[in-house]
């Protein structure tokens, strides 16, 4: 189970997408000031409308995940993911820096990933060889289709709408803060969706992860700009707990996501050097019997 938990919890995809309507409202334009505080539903609706108008944006995701097993071992993974998006035509450029530390070693493991994805092709930087690889077009389309549901900013709003009865509205100087705090089985679906939307696991893996654990804490806060109604930040903390062979296994996950540069992110262009020097992308399939021998 230890290997299963580790494999499931440390899955980090290298893709982010946003879906978009086509109209001409500028998301940076301030919404007329209201005489009274809008309702939670009104805030969410206005924010959805503004986000759907964005042609470009940048997303920064900082993750810290700690897995503790009794008093014997602890593993902490930190990752910083920055993604630059063009919505139409679809294109994005993403970098991922990851650092892993364990209580059993004083050395840390650091990796860097990078990729360019467009509707016409994709290029990924290989971790093992530090060389650029060209992804076949048919696989590129599969990647785009798969990622389309995962990390759209608007999905954070859809998640919180599904738990409307648990939302608290806090009006700050510059933002409306929509907050959900709690614990226990009633928030299991929320935790599964956060794992999924944050690209830590796909839908099936998210289900398997959360159903093995007790939900000790969930703190989910989204910050919507009071002038533009754009989603600026999402902050999440999750504590999960289970027992395996008499030992307590605890997972602590912190996610800090910032959305910025709406309609001002640069146009994504794949550098000519990468296009000309990239090698063919190959998928290595490892036989599980060989791995366990």
Please give the residue that has the higher pLDDT: either 206 or 209: 209
Is the Cβ–Cβ distance between 163 and 222 less than 8 Å?
Answer: no
* C-alpha of 15 from chain center: 9
Q: What share of the chain is helix, strand, coil (3-state, %, to 5)?
A: 25, 40, 35
What token pair was written down for 129?
């060889």
Instruction: Please provide the size of the chain in residues.
Output: 293
* Cα–Cα distance for residue pair 43/28, rounded to 1 Å: 16
DSSP secondary structure, 22-81, as one string? -----TTSPPPPPSSPPPHHHHHHHHHHHHHT-SEEEEEEEEEEEEEETTTEEEEEEEEE
Check residue 25 and give its pLDDT: 42
Please give the residue that has the higher pLDDT: either 32 or 77: 77
* C-alpha of 29 from chain center: 27
pLDDT at residue 174 is higher than 80: yes
Residues 52, 151, 188: CA angle, nearest 5 degrees: 115
Please give the residue that has the higher pLDDT: either 202 or 24: 202
CA neighbor of 136 nearest in space, from 115, 118, 122 = 122
* C-alpha of 6 from chain center: 18
| pLDDT tens, residue by residue, 235-279 | 999 999 988 777 888 989 999 999 999 999 999 999 999 999 999
């Amino acid at each position: 189970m230890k290997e299963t938990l580790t494999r499931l919890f440390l899955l980090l995809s290298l893709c982010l997408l946003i879906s978009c309507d086509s109209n001409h409202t500028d998301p940076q334009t301030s919404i007329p000031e209201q005489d009274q505080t809008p309702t939670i539903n009104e805030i969410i609706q206005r924010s959805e409308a503004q986000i759907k108008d964005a042609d470009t944006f940048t997303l920064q995701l900082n993750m810290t995940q700690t897995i503790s097993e009794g008093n014997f071992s602890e593993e902490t993974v930190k990752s910083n993911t920055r993604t630059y998006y063009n919505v139409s035509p679809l294109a994005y450029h993403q970098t991922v820096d990851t650092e892993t530390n364990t209580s059993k070693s004083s050395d840390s493991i650091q990796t860097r990933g990078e990729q360019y994805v467009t509707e016409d092709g994709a290029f990924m930087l290989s971790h093992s060889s530090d060389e650029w690889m060209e992804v076949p077009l048919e696989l590129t389309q599969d990647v785009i289709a798969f990622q389309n549901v995962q990390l759209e900013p608007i999905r954070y709003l859809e998640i919180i709408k599904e738990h409307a009865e648990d939302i608290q509205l806090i009006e700050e100087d510059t933002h409306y803060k929509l907050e959900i705090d709690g614990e226990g089985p009633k928030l299991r679906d929320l935790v599964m969706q956060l794992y999924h939307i944050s690209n830590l696991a796909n839908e099936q893996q998210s289900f398997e992860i959360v159903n093995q654990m007790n939900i000790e804490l969930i703190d989910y806060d989204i910050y919507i700009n009071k002038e533009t109604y754009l989603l600026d930040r999402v902050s999440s903390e999750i504590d999960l707990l289970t027992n395996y062979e008499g030992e307590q296994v605890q997972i602590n996950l912190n996610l800090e996501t910032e959305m910025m540069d709406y309609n001002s992110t640069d146009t994504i262009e794949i550098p000519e050097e990468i296009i000309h020097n990239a090698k063919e992308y190959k998928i290595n399939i490892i036989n599980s019997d060989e791995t366990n021998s």
